[in-house]
Amino acid sequence: MTPEQVRALPEGQPVPSPCINVCSMDAATGLCRGCLRNIDEIVAWGTASDAYKRRVWAQIEHRQADQFK
- pTM for the whole structure: 0.92
* Average pLDDT value over all residues in the chain: 95
Is the distance from CB of 59 to CB of 42 less than 8 angstroms?
A: no
Letter for the amino acid at 63? R
**Residue 68, pLDDT above cutoff 90:** no
Q: Which of 36, 3, 32, 1 is nearest to 54 (CA)?
A: 3
Residue 67 pLDDT grade (very low, low, confident, very high; cuts 50, 70, 90): confident
Would you list the domain boundaries of the chain?
A: 36-69
pLDDT tens, position by position, 8-65: 999 999 999 999 999 999 999 999 999 999 999 999 999 999 999 999 999 999 999 9
